[in-house]
Structure 1
Amino acid sequence: MNNDPVKQKGMFRFLGAIEKVGNKLPDPFMLFVYLAIFIILLSWLISAFGVTVIHPGTKEELPIKSLVSGEGIQYILESMLTNFTSFKPLGLVLAMMLGIGLAEKVGLLEAGIRKTILNAPKSIVTYAVVFTGIMGNLASDAAFVVIPPLAAMVFYAVGRHPLAGLAAGFAGTGAGFTANLIIAGTDALLAGISTEAAKTIDKNIIVTPVDNWYFMMLSVFVLTIVGALITEKVIEPRLGKYEGKMGKELAEPNPLEGKGFKNALLAGLAYLVVVAVILFWPNSPLRNEEGGIIPSPFLNGIVPILLFFFLTMGITYGVTVKKITSTRDIPKYMGEAIKDMAGYIVLIFAAAQFIAYFDWTNLGIWVAVNGAELLTSLNFDGLPVVIGYVLFTALLNLLIFSGSAKWALEAPIFIPMFMILGYHPSFIQVAYRIADSSTNIITPMNPYLVVILAFMREYDKKAGIGTLISLMLPYSLAFLVIWIIQLIIFALIGIPFGPGIHMNL
């Protein structure tokens, strides 16, 4: 690539500084351990001054309680297990992974990815690659190692630069990670954390997995168009014509996989029809007493409904391709999927303690009330403060990659603070999601950056981290800007972010 040496040197120095700082941060598990210790000491220090805070909802005066006290030590010991087992995101995510994990382990998700890209007309292949990358978050982290290299092969097969295909696939998968047409594990995970944080202000409020659905569905199409245009108008002209030879040949579709995918789609469609019939049946138990859907048992039970949806499709595919030959294979694949979640389970143990301590000591309310009062006194409120929060989170993502860990860290502070200012927690969750996803593809802390770099070197032996960042930066900036504009449009016009969800409470 013909980059200016001075600019390139400056870029490498900047990226090196980010990587150096990021590498000094502890593992997310230890980060939450240290934060929990910090909360213990902070609660002791602030409580020593007799600090109190007025709860904005109940108007009750609450003291800052010390964890370094008889009561505090008892709470730490007696609540440790319940903090972990009652942490809502844990059950939500593990339940979703039973279904999505099964579908991934039998090969359904990869088959869907391959058919979506390989069957696309050459004129829209770029759009198909970005779209598939965005939808690939159903496969969670597996999408990072499946979609980009497959996209590179597809571009090479149609006579285009393979690195442009890899970049488009990585952009959709990474920067578009939070968007989807289907409610996925990410929705359940973030909604659970948001609900826990929101209950600090309002015990009755619930953030459901569908609260951001409308916004994220539109985002799929908006980002697909933006990603494709960046690829064709910026990335490919910069790369030029590819003169090398590909290390791998594009594999022909397996007829049995095609049959399995077709059968899985039919089974999934049949399942949705059954659910729709039950939902719209007169006096349906899935609707509320007034016959409405918002709120309703249907929305409250969306996680198990989606679980059975993925199980239906996954089992159908597995039986067709003969990966499931007996009922014993079903729990085996589920078990393998849960094994992949071991790191997440360990992380949640520490995160649950930190969040519980933050809540019990009343530090969360104290920070939220004082933060809201500060913003109000500065006359810095409305959408500008929300946009400022988006930019803050986007920058923080350069140092802390894990989206769930970062939200578990931010939600207890920012959701109560913004709720006091009158914003709905689901709206703040949207702001977090667009910021967190946009910079996924340029942060050195992304563990898959090295994997993508290895794929790049199959086509360009001299490719380095600077090459990768320079390819992905246009996508990252474009996605962030377009998403902020979309957020503003939704907020100002009053378009719901999900069923019954608007900017304000």
Structure 2
Amino acid sequence: MENSKKNKGIAQKFLNGIEIAGNKLPDPFILFASLAVLVIIVSAIFNAFGASVIHPGTGEELQVKSLASGEGLQYILTSMLDNFTGFAPLGLVLAMMLGIGLAEKVGLLDYAIKKTILKSPPALITYTVVFVGIMGNIASDAAMVLVPPLAAMVFYKVGRNPIAGLAAGYAAAGAGFTANLLIAGTDALLAGISTEAAQIIDENFVVTPVDNWYFNIVSVFILTIVGGLVTNKFIEPRLGKYKGEEIEEAVTEDPPNAGKGLRNSVIAGLVYWAIIIVVIFLPDSPLRNEQGGIVPSPFLSGIVPIILFFFIIIGVAYGMTVGNIKSSRDVAKYMADAMKDMASYIVLIFAIAQFIAYFSWSNIATWIAVNGAEFLKDIEFTGIGLIIGYIIFTALMNFLITSGSAKWALEAPVFVPMFMQLGYHPAFTQVAYRVADSSTNIVTPLMPYMVIALSFMQKYDKKAGIGTFISLMLPYSVCFLLTWIVLILIFFFFGLPFGPGITPYL
């Protein structure tokens, strides 16, 4: 008993330490602005010592250029707007969110998530909750707020412990964030940052939003099984039968035509994709490449606008049926509302774009990539063990920086070029990042949605605290991370494509 108390004390101190250290970090915008200033200082120091590197692609010797020089000052002032407006993820994500945001604002995504969980057969409730939680990231972070209380309510109504349902819903939405059967805004965002980082080595290199798609599809089904088993075999038995006070569960009323709206949106979506498929298979289709193939092709290059139109079509079909869209003005209004939610992201992108641009222009990124790769070769640490080590490193970093886009913007300019020098495809490095970042989302006290989920939990257990919550999330986090590492190993050793035409190696 004494050892148990001591271990709990150590664990609590560890978590408290993480919370204190993380809270001392500045806001992500200030963090990247500070990093941009740091690059200016470091570039001047490197330049003063005559640092240089041979560009791996051109064979040209590149001097590290000082941003603190006259030339550097000119670059900073004349490139600032171009760095921002030309930053690849900006247009990709904003375009995606026009469609996804419309579908969310008219109520389609919320209704689809709710009905999928509420109408699930009792024997499949756990797996349905996990599946919907994972798929919910199509609505971005909204799933972490919407799915847990719905799952808790369903578990309670069928006589199961509601806290187990809440735990399964939050774990799936948070730790399974990177997986989806569809191409989501996250795919566009990360691919854009990966492209910017890859172009440090090869200015023509492009990472597309579909480059991790096959891996994500497999992940959805594997994680659904793992999350369901963790809930049924570990979490629920540990919690035992619910003995709390009786809860009056209120269900928000849906629009009268919501069911019909969902049906119409599904029909509209299927018709849309049927047309796309017909166009792809037309003789001399403009969506295929000159050889008649799909990889690469205008279809894959144009996947973002194709998906944008898909979400606009299903959002409009639902909105018109339920009466939320009465005129074309309403479509623009809902899109504008969705863009309001992206305001903080746009502000952050301004700072991230400057940091990455300075890092690249100064040639520090190339210097680190080439010398870092040479060092790893010298110590013979270049195989799959390196990738696993990187996954663990990123998983731990998540305890300090919870924003997935901010963390990738920090890591990508270093690790993408470095791993390219070792022969690894940027999309493969991106997969390693995504599984690590997602897995530990649910156990860091800095995740803002943890407090919201904890408040839902306290409805059923008033004594529950952060420690209670994290103790329930830890099994999911560990199991998801280990499962994903095994899945990466399977894809790696069997040469399975992570996306269309994407293997681990360049």
Instruction: Using structure 1 for the length normalisation, give the TM-score.
Output: 0.98
In structure 1, give the amino acid aligned to 2:81. L
The alignment yields a C-alpha RMSD, in angstroms, of 1.1
Equivalent position of 1:447 in the other structure: 448
- Superposition deviation, residue 325 in structure 1: 1.0
- Superposition deviation, residue 253 in structure 1: 6.1
- Superposition deviation, residue 10 in structure 1: 1.9
Equivalent position of 2:394 in the other structure: 393
- Superposition deviation, residue 491 in structure 1: 0.5
Pairwise mapping of residues 48-87 of structure 1 onto structure 2 (< 5 A)? 48-87=48-87
Report if aligned partners of 2:106, 2:315 keep a CA contact under 8 Å in 1. Answer: yes
Q: Does 2:482 correspond to 1:481?
A: yes
Distance 1:219 1:356 in 2: 33
- Superposition deviation, residue 254 in structure 1: 5.6
In structure 2, give the amino acid aligned to 1:126. T
Q: Deviations over 1:363-388 (max 9, x none)?
A: 00000111111111111111000100
Distance 1:298 1:427 in 2: 21
Equivalent position of 1:493 in the other structure: 494
Report if aligned partners of 1:247, 1:459 keep a CA contact under 8 Å in 2. Answer: no
Distance 2:283 2:114 in 1: 41
- Superposition deviation, residue 7 in structure 1: 2.6
Equivalent position of 1:460 in the other structure: 461
In structure 2, give the amino acid aligned to 1:76. I
Equivalent position of 1:192 in the other structure: 192
Equivalent position of 1:368 in the other structure: 369
Equivalent position of 1:346 in the other structure: 347
1:62 alignment partner, SS class: strand
Distance 1:393 1:323 in 2: 42
Report if aligned partners of 2:97, 2:338 keep a CA contact under 8 Å in 1. Answer: yes
Larger CA deviation: 109-118 vs 210-219: 109-118
Distance 2:187 2:206 in 1: 13
Equivalent position of 2:130 in the other structure: 130
In structure 2, give the amino acid aligned to 1:214. Y
Q: Deviations over 1:204-250 (max 9, x none)?
A: 22111000000000000000000000000110011000022225334
Equivalent position of 2:215 in the other structure: 215
Pairwise mapping of residues 8-23 of structure 1 onto structure 2 (< 5 A)? 8-23=8-23
2:53 alignment partner, SS class: strand
Distance 1:281 1:415 in 2: 38
Q: Deviations over 1:333-364 (max 9, x none)?
A: 00000000000000000000000000000000
2:442 alignment partner, SS class: coil
- Superposition deviation, residue 309 in structure 1: 0.2
Distance 1:359 1:172 in 2: 37
Equivalent position of 2:6 in the other structure: 6
Report if aligned partners of 2:194, 2:426 keep a CA contact under 8 Å in 1. Answer: yes
Against the structure 1 CA distance between its residues 481 and 240, is the aligned structure 2 distance closer, same or farther, given a 3 Å change threshold? same
Q: Deviations over 1:261-319 (max 9, x none)?
A: 11111111111101111111111111111111111100000000000000000000001
Equivalent position of 1:297 in the other structure: 298
In structure 2, give the amino acid aligned to 1:237. P
In structure 2, give the amino acid aligned to 1:141. D
Equivalent position of 1:38 in the other structure: 38
Q: Does 2:178 correspond to 1:163?
A: no
Report if aligned partners of 1:154, 1:250 keep a CA contact under 8 Å in 2. Answer: no
1:328 alignment partner, SS class: helix
Report if aligned partners of 1:167, 1:472 keep a CA contact under 8 Å in 2. Answer: yes
Pairwise mapping of residues 126-275 of structure 1 onto structure 2 (< 5 A)? 126-244=126-244, 245-250=246-251, 255-275=256-276
1:460 alignment partner, SS class: coil
1:53 alignment partner, SS class: strand
Give the % identical residues.
66
Q: Deviations over 1:92-120 (max 9, x none)?
A: 00000000000000100011101211111
Q: Deviations over 1:178-216 (max 9, x none)?
A: 000001101011001101100111122211100000000
- Superposition deviation, residue 11 in structure 1: 1.6
Against the structure 1 CA distance between its residues 252 and 161, is the aligned structure 2 distance closer, same or farther, given a 3 Å change threshold? farther
- Superposition deviation, residue 478 in structure 1: 0.2
Equivalent position of 1:309 in the other structure: 310
Q: Does 2:437 correspond to 1:411?
A: no
Distance 2:429 2:47 in 1: 30
In structure 1, give the amino acid aligned to 2:161. H
Distance 2:287 2:192 in 1: 21
In structure 2, give the amino acid aligned to 1:272. W
Tell me the number of residue pairs that the alignment of Structure 1 and Structure 2 aligns.
Answer: 503
Distance 2:442 2:248 in 1: 24
- Superposition deviation, residue 430 in structure 1: 0.3
1:448 alignment partner, SS class: helix
Equivalent position of 1:380 in the other structure: 381
Report if aligned partners of 1:153, 1:250 keep a CA contact under 8 Å in 2. Answer: no
- Superposition deviation, residue 255 in structure 1: 5.0
Distance 1:247 1:208 in 2: 47
Distance 1:313 1:353 in 2: 37
Distance 2:376 2:358 in 1: 25
Report if aligned partners of 2:255, 2:322 keep a CA contact under 8 Å in 1. Answer: no
Distance 1:247 1:457 in 2: 14
Residue segments in structure 1 that go unaligned for 5+ positions in a row: none
In structure 2, give the amino acid aligned to 1:147. V
Instruction: Using structure 2 for the length normalisation, give the TM-score.
Output: 0.98
Distance 2:489 2:390 in 1: 13
- Superposition deviation, residue 6 in structure 1: 2.9
Against the structure 1 CA distance between its residues 156 and 331, is the aligned structure 2 distance closer, same or farther, given a 3 Å change threshold? same
Distance 1:501 1:253 in 2: 43
Distance 2:124 2:27 in 1: 41
- Superposition deviation, residue 462 in structure 1: 0.5
- Superposition deviation, residue 444 in structure 1: 1.2
In structure 2, give the amino acid aligned to 1:447. P
